[in-house]
């Protein structure tokens, strides 16, 4: 992230890094880049792991190694995009909101099937399943598909900024943004008195092989601004074993999605959202802003 | 192979095919191409499977689909290359030869780690293991690393063409050219009276989980010209389950090679070569040119 500016201050003309991903294919995960204000804006490149291995061996054995670099990357001006929001109105306490989030945009190299098409599919399908139940949950379930998660979280920040008195009526927020799953853990950041309710959720999720985690959940990148406002959050942790083989690379396409895995994730999100939206009493308020 | 010329005769300006490989990554296996003499030489392209899926969906839903194609492929003039040959002289019947083959060149897109770096490693290491034995085999073991397998088998054809009276002294030929393995089957094309010897080889290879196949082995592409001359051949069939995910693509790099798998293949090739070079009597002669 800081590498290009640090290198530029030392006189570098460009920076080349090893892929930030785990794939052994010839595709690179570029990582992300923030230019410092006080350094020349030099181009940065990422090499796939096999190519980085080759270069490392050349550097270790040859007197001189030359790389010819060509970047076609451009920074385009800002443009308009929008959060997309839908709701299942609550049966009794419709002014209270359980938020299910995901994000609409994808990283430049990726098509976004896993990041975050899978997350969008999970939260929409979870909400659809709930909408078809005869007995709707007491609270409103709000699905928020955030704009621009990847390039600065502006959708998430704008959402939080314009909440007004709705902020106090958000009882819980969760996001799906680590690929398709399966969900393997439920983790919370809620007021201590609400922890038994989280444990009860885990019991319901137990048949899906979801274990109980600690009370230090982040909620997800788009949920961050809500969490810092004191809104409790839940993580349904998605299995990321192979996520970094794919995400933010050209390989993030639909062929990587397994409908059976997605089904498990949808079931877990639907159950957790329903239980949260039906629970007697809320999840309290976070008094210290979590990480 | 024949597609571009067939399409050109129908007026096509170019041909685009789905990858001939099995990878779900954004890498294409181009297949191979032979231009007919009587058709315009149009360019041919291969799309990776995810990209082909995308295009197929577009074609099925859109009125008009346009592809902008740019080919940087060139056909360069022929150049010199050479077969590389080494021998372990036989202890008793050194004029008789058991041939272990692989090929040195790789497909244009691939680095050739599996095709056929792995094969070269298998036959060289098998020969090296045999060379370190106190009791050398009776016959000569000849390792032939063929030039130009990929672009017309000229190395194999030249080798066969210049055999002279050595042809009758080749008792058996085998090749490693389907990746790293493991070896899962031994298959022969030998005279019927030599079949018990092949079955005996399989018994030795049984602990490596090598099963016995039929008597219709091909020997491998470079061995073809020898087989049509009547020289018996053996296939140690290498597991190709994931071979077409990788071979002839940019992903054919060293990271795909598993030393443990290679070890099993080396053991099988070394044992089979030793047994063939030590066997009492030969493997007969092929009377009908096999497929």
**DSSP characters over A174-226:** EE--S-S--EEEEEEE--GGGHHHHHHHHHHHGGGT-EE--S-----GGGHHH
Q: Shortest CB distance from A53 goes to which of B50, B250, B255?
A: B255
Distance CA A91, CA B48 (A): 49
Closest CA to B104 of B79, B84, B75, B123: B84
Report d(CA B129, CA B162) in Å as an integer: 29
What are the φ/ψ torsions at residue B26 (nearest 5 degrees)? -85, 45
Active site residue B150: no
Contact B255 A24 (CB under 8 A): yes
User: How far apart are alpha carbons B141 and B85 in whole angstroms?
Assistant: 11
Give CA–CA dist A13/A159, Å, rounded.
Answer: 39
Nearest-Cα distance to chain A for B96, in Å, is 41
B53 and A24 within 8 Å at the Cβ level: the answer is: no
List all residues 6 or more positions away from A251 whose beta carbon is below 8 Å from its beta carbon.
Answer: A23, A25, A27, A110, A245, B25, B26, B50
Give the number of other Cβ atoms within 10 Å of residue A134's Cβ: 4
Nearest CB to A49; choose among B26, B49, B255: B255
CA–CA distance, A145 with A233 (Å, rounded to integer): 17
Dihedral sign from CA coordinates of B11, B14, B20, B24: negative
Nearest to B253 among A50, A253, A254 (CB): A50
Question: Cβ separation of A253 and B27 shorter than 8 Å?
Answer: no
Percent of chain B with pLDDT over 70: 99
Catalytic residue among B87, B95, B125, B149: B149
With CB atoms and an 8 Å threshold, state whether A251 touches B49: no
Find the mean pLDDT for residues B202-224: 97
Query: What does the pLDDT average to over B197-207?
Result: 97
Residue B290: predicted pLDDT: 47
| pTM (2 d.p.) | 0.85
Optimal mutation site among B18, B19, B27, B50, interface A, most CBs of chain A within 10 A: B50
Q: Hey, is A255 helix, strand or coil?
A: helix
* Omega of the bond leading into B182 within 30 degrees of 0 (cis): yes
In terms of C-beta density within 10 A (0-12 exposed, 13-18 middle, 19 or more buried), how is residue A19 classed? buried
Placement of tokens 């060289």 in the chain: B124
With an 8 Å Cβ cutoff, are B27 and A24 in contact?
no
Q: Are the C-beta atoms of residues A146 and A102 closer than 8 Å to each other?
A: yes
Task: Spell out which residues of chain B touch residue A255, defining contact as CB-CB under 8 Å.
Answer: 24, 49-50, 53
Task: Produce one character per residue of B276-287: b if its CB has 16 or more CB atoms within 10 Å, e if not.
Answer: bbbbeebbbebe
- Token pair 């020898």 is found at B226
What is residue A40's predicted lDDT score, i.e. its pLDDT? 96
pLDDT at site B291: 44
CA distance B144 to A274: 68
| pLDDT of B289 above 60 | no
Identity of the residue in A25, A49, A254 whose CB atom sits nearest the CB atom of B25: A25
Question: Would the CB atoms of A25 and B24 count as touching at under 8 Å?
Answer: no
Alpha-carbon distance A53 to nearest alpha carbon in chain B (angstroms): 9
Shortest CB distance from A255 goes to which of B24, B27, B250?
A: B24
Helix and strand numbers, DSSP H then E, in chain B: 8, 9
* Per-residue pLDDT tens listing for chain A (291 residues): 999 999 999 999 999 999 999 999 999 999 989 999 999 999 999 999 999 999 999 999 998 999 999 999 888 998 999 999 999 999 999 999 999 999 999 998 888 999 999 999 999 999 999 999 999 999 999 999 999 999 889 999 999 999 999 999 999 999 999 999 999 999 999 999 999 999 999 999 999 999 999 999 999 999 999 999 999 999 999 999 999 999 999 999 999 999 999 999 999 999 999 999 999 999 999 986 544
**Contact of B246 with B256, CB cutoff 8 Å:** yes
Contact criterion met (CB < 8 Å) for A50 and B24: no
Chain B residues closer than 8 Å to A256 by CB: 24
Q: Which of A149, A150, A158, A166 is catalytic?
A: A149
Take residue B112 and report the two structure tokens written for it. Answer: 């050739």
d(CA A247, CA A227): 25
C-alpha span between B111 and B27 (Å, rounded):
14
Work out the minimum CA distance from A252 to partner chain B, whole angstroms: 9
Contact B50 A24 (CB under 8 A): no
pLDDT of residue A290: 46
| Closest residue by Cα to residue B35 from B17, B71, B11, B9 | B9
- Contacts of residue A213, Cβ cutoff 8 Å, sequence gap at least 6: A185, A186, A187, A188, A235, A237
- Which DSSP category does A115 fall into? I
- The count of C-alpha atoms lying within 13 angstroms of the C-alpha of B73, restricted to the half-sphere facing its C-beta, is 14
Residue B110 pLDDT class (50, 70, 90 cuts): confident
d(CA A178, CA A119): 7
Token pair for A223:
């949920």
- d(CA A201, CA A232) in angstroms, rounded, equals 15
Contact yes or no for A234/A65 (Cβ under 8 A): no
Interface probe with A: pick from B18, B26, B113, most Cβ of A within 10 Å: B26
**In sequence order, what are the beta bridge partners of B44?**
B15
- Sign of the CA dihedral running B18, B118, B84, B228: negative
- pLDDT confidence of residue A287: 86
Tell me the CA distances in angstroms from B46 to A109, B27, B105, B106, B192, one per residue in order: 20, 9, 22, 18, 44
Say how far apart CA A103 and CA A87 lie, in whole Å: 16
């Amino acid at each position: 992230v800081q590498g290009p500016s640090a290198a530029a201050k030392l006189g570098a003309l460009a920076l080349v890094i090893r892929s930030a991903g785990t794939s052994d294919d010839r595709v690179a995960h570029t990582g992300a880049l923030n230019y410092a204000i006080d350094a020349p804006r030099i181009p940065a490149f990422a090499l796939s792991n096999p190519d980085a291995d080759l270069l490392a061996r050349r550097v270790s054995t040859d007197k001189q190694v030359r790389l010819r670099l060509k970047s076609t990357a451009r920074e385009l001006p800002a443009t308009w995009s929008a959060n997309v929001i839908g709701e299942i109105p609550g049966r009794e306490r419709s002014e209270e909101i359980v938020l299910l989030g995901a994000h609409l945009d994808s990283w430049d190299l990726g098509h976004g099937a896993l990041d975050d098409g899978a997350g969008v599919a999970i939260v929409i399908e979870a909400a659809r399943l709930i909408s078809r139940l005869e007995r709707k949950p007491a609270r409103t379930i709000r699905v928020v598909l955030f704009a621009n998660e990847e390039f600065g979280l502006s959708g998430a920040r704008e959402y939080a900024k314009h909440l007004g008195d709705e902020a106090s009526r958000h009882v819980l927020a969760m996001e799906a943004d680590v690929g398709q799953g399966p969900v393997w853990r439920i983790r919370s950041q809620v007021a201590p008195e609400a922890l038994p309710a989280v444990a009860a959720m885990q019991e319901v999720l137990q048949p899906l092989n979801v274990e109980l985690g600690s009370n230090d959940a982040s909620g997800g990148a788009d949920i961050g601004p809500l969490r810092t406002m004191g809104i409790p959050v839940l993580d349904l942790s998605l299995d990321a074993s192979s996520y970094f083989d794919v995400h933010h690379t050209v390989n993030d396409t639909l062929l990587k999605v397994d409908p059976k895995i997605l089904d498990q994730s949808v079931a877990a999100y639907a159950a957790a959202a329903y239980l949260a939206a039906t629970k007697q009493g809320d999840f309290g308020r976070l008094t210290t802003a979590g990480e």
